[in-house]
Amino acid sequence: MNPDELLFAETHEWAKVNDEDGAKVATVGISAFAVEQLTDLVYMELPSVGATVEAGKEFGEVESVKAVSPLYSPVTGEIVAVNAGLPDSLETLNSDPYNAGWILKVKLADESSLAKLLDSAAYQKQCAEEG
Amino acid sequence: MEVALAHTPLYDWHVARSARMVDFAGWSMPVQYSSIVEEHRATRNAIGVFDISHMGRLRFDGEGAATFLDRLLTRRVVGLEQGLIRYSLVTNESGGILDDVLVYHLADADYKPFHLLVVNASNRAKIVAWVEQHLSSDDGVTIRDQTVETAMFAVQGPDALSALQPLTDVQLSNMRYYSGQTAQIAGHPVIVSRTGYTGEDGCELIVSAESASSVVENLFAEGEQFGIQPVGLGARDTLRLEAAMPLYGHELSETIDPFQAGLGFAVHLKDRDFIGASALKELKQLPNQLRRIGLEIDSKRVPREHYPVLSSDAVIGEVTSGTFSPTLERPIAMAYVQPDAAELGTKLAVDIRGRAAEARVVALPFYKRDIK
């Protein structure tokens, strides 16, 4: 996926919404900036397929040598797929955070929260200010 | 009110190397350059260089210096041979730890003897005030805080001496562990000591602020063939944790006494008196004191500071430092627990954000280098 076409949460997760068989499904991951800031990832804990997530609420955690960081869902809905191999190959988050490093696919229950997400330009601006 | 952070003499050097800078005890310090794990491994396998200029350096001159310091430190300073360094504690009247320090007995380039106290950055103001409070004009001691006018760095790792040796006439390998002397490195006057905070062989250097960049540039030129790397505070913490070295504010505080911390070796009570001595004599006899232990965790979740330590679901202690050990490739932690839970091999658990992770008490240090 091209990062320019993604939506971003202020908490550094990304989402890309696609139409799949008439339903809206968001692929969710974390940004290259977040991965670079965390560095030295050692552990990631993910929810199971069938669980529900809510925009702005925690769905998992990622741990680096230095600290643990919660993962917040950018969208609301039901988890239809989890990238189960990711916790065992965390280096994928460094090499390909927007494709092979995807984390969840979520069938959207409510699209209103999408309006709160940032487009790529706005997110890059936020990162520049934080970095 | 926002207070401007102090810069070490190597600040521009860190920024030029794209270090991530953080506020540490009022100083802008590099937390990492490349990655904590990479810097950690460079120190264990080659050479890591640490800017530790933020640590306080207090020089004591005058005939009464040893006697004066002897009153303030838990370890004997009178009789400390010139050229030697001692790890010691500063305690308050009730035996609580005000700081852990190194005391050096050295002679300067003119053969004039002096003592040097290296203190934690976070405690420098407190210790300066403590020293001044206890000093009287008839002690025959003058004190100079040399922190800002000097720089200090640690050169640590199996190849540290090989990189430094071509820059100096002093035979570094002949210097004993915990010895120090004035010398020249790359033509600059320095204090070189066989000390460190990583569990590796190596040296620490104190140089004038003006010489700092030149000494470091010369060192990196010599060290390049070995894979020398700058190391930030992030890896300094993982290295010292593997070596089970206590860190003030985590394993040490004014409410922890030296015996709980496992630092009884640094308390000399026999035939001497110092601030805190009478309280420490009593504390030494106390049964059922909390004890500092090491924990290894079987899960991949990492125990962090303040997480509760459990035995059969009851809280029996608290983690003071925890990380993912880059050398052991598993989570490790230091904690204070009730003495009956401190035996090696005891099965405990750590409450990691609401879920118990199995842990067991292991011997400290977690990592010990092979002595060649």
Q: Which tens digit of pLDDT belongs to each residue from A41-69?
A: 999 999 999 999 999 999 999 999 999 99
Token pair 């200029």 is at which residue? B53
**Is A131 at the interface with chain B, CB within 8 A?**
no
One domain for residues B157 and B30 = yes
Is A39–B32 a contact, with Cβ atoms under 8 angstroms apart?
yes
Residue B284 lies in a domain: no
**Largest CA-CA distance found in chain B, in angstroms, rounded:** 63
pLDDT class for A30, splitting at 50, 70, 90? very high
Residue, of B208 and B4, whose pLDDT is higher: B208
Residue B287: predicted pLDDT: 84
Task: Note whether A66 contacts B300, CB cutoff 8 Å.
Answer: no
pLDDT at B1 > cutoff 60 = no
Q: Is the pLDDT of residue A76 over 70?
A: yes
Q: How confident is the model at residue B314 (pLDDT cuts 50, 70, 90)?
A: very high
Does the ipTM surpass 0.90? no
Residue B259, in any domain of the structure: no
Q: Which residue has the tokens 């990189």?
A: B163
Which domain CATH number covers B339? 2.40.30.110
- Note the pLDDT of residue B26: 96
Give the A window 52-91 contacts with B, CB below 8 Å. Answer: 61, 63-68
Phi-psi region at B306: left, alpha or beta (left = phi > 0; alpha = psi -120 to 50)? left
Range of the domain at B332: 289-372
Q: Is residue A131 part of a domain?
A: no
The domain that contains B30 carries what CATH number?
A: 3.30.1360.120
Task: Place B260 in a pLDDT band, splitting at 50, 70 and 90.
Answer: very high
| CB atoms B301 and A67 under 8 Å | no
Amino acid identity at B245: M
> B55 touching A, CB under 8 A?
no
Residue B304 and residue A67: Cβ atoms within 8 Å? yes
Residue B78, domain CATH: 3.30.70.1400
- Which residue in the set A61, A66, A68 is minimally distant from B234, CB to CB? A66
CA–CA distances in Å: residue B3 to residues A65, B23, B140, B225:
30, 11, 36, 41
Whether residues B173 and B234 fall in one domain: yes
Residue A122 included in any domain: no
Round to whole Å and give the CA distance between B99 and B117: 11
- For residue B268, give the amino acid letter: H
Answer yes or no: is A124 within a domain: no
Q: Give residue-wise pLDDT tens across range B322-343.
A: 999 999 999 999 999 999 999 9
Evaluate whether B250 touches B261 at the Cβ level (below 8 Å): no
Residue A130 has pLDDT above 90, yes or no: no
Q: What is the pLDDT at residue B299?
A: 85
- Please tell me the total count of domains within chain B: 3
pLDDT at B109: 83
- Identify the domain boundary among B112, B145, B178: B145
Neighboring chain B residues of A42 at a CB cutoff of 8 Å: 300, 302, 324
Same domain, B188 and B201: yes
A43 contact B CB<8A = yes
Rounded to a whole number of angstroms, the CA Rg of chain B reads 21
The Cα A69–Cα A37 span in angstroms is 11
Residue with tokens 């969208």: A75
- Rounded Cα gap, residues B195 and B185, in angstroms: 17
pLDDT reported for residue B354 = 94
Closest CA to A90 of A57, A121, A63: A63
The torsion angle over the Cα atoms of residues B233, B239, B242 and B243, rounded to 10 degrees, is -110
Give the pLDDT of residue B2: 63
Query: B69-97, pLDDT tens digit by residue?
Result: 999 999 999 999 999 999 999 999 999 99
Q: Which of B205, B226, B242 delimits the end of a domain?
A: B242
Which range, of A86-90, B136-140, B209-213, B254-258, averages the lowest pLDDT? B136-140
Shared domain for B327 and B310, answered yes or no, is: yes
Of A39, A43, A67, the CB nearest to B300: A43
What value does the mean pLDDT take over residues B26-50? 97
Q: What is the mean pLDDT of residues A97-113?
A: 94
My answer on whether B89 and B132 are in the same domain is: yes
**pLDDT surpasses 90 at B275:** yes
The separation between CA B94 and the C-alpha centre of its own chain, rounded to angstroms, equals 23
Judged against a pLDDT cut of 70, whether residue B230 lies above it is answered with yes
Residue A65 and residue B353: Cβ atoms within 8 Å?
no
**Token reading at B330:** 């598993």
Q: What is the CATH number of the domain that holds A41?
A: 2.40.50.100
Is A47 exposed, middle or buried (CB count within 10 Å of its CB: 0-12, 13-18, 19+)?
middle
| Greater model confidence, A111 or B350 | B350
pLDDT at B372 > cutoff 70: no
Check whether residue B153 and residue B141 sit in a common domain.
no
- Going from the C-alpha of B197 to that of each of A54, B35, B240, the distances in angstroms are 45, 19, 6
- pLDDT at position B18: 95
Query: DSSP strand E in chain A: where?
Result: 7-8, 13-20, 23-30, 41-45, 52-53, 58-64, 68-72, 76-82, 104-110
Residue A1: pLDDT band with limits 50, 70, 90? confident
- B62 lies in a domain? yes
Q: What is the pLDDT of residue B371?
A: 72
- Quote the domain boundaries for residue A89: 3-116
The residue-averaged pLDDT of B41-66 equals 97
State chain B's mean pLDDT as an integer.
96
pLDDT for position A2: 87
Mutation site for B-interface testing, chosen from A33, A36, A37, A42 by largest number of B Cβ within 10 Å: A42
Tell me, yes or no, whether B233 and B156 share the same domain: yes
pLDDT at B288: 83
Asked if the C-beta of A99 comes within 8 angstroms of chain B's C-beta atoms, the answer is no
Contact B301 A63 (CB under 8 A): yes
Query: What average pLDDT does range B285-300 have in this prediction?
Result: 92
Inform me whether the C-beta atom of residue B330 falls under 8 Å from chain A C-beta atoms.
no
The alpha carbon of residue A9 is apart from the nearest alpha carbon of chain B, in Å, by 23
Conformation bin of residue B207: beta by default, left when phi > 0, alpha when psi is -120 to 50:
beta
Please answer yes or no on whether A42 and B302 come within 8 Å at the CB atom.
yes
A95 and chain B: CB distance < 8 Å anywhere?
Answer: no
A45 Cβ under 8 Å from any chain B Cβ: yes
- Do residues B77 and B43 share a domain? no
- Cβ(B73)–Cβ(B162) below 8 Å: no
Domains held by chain A: number: 1
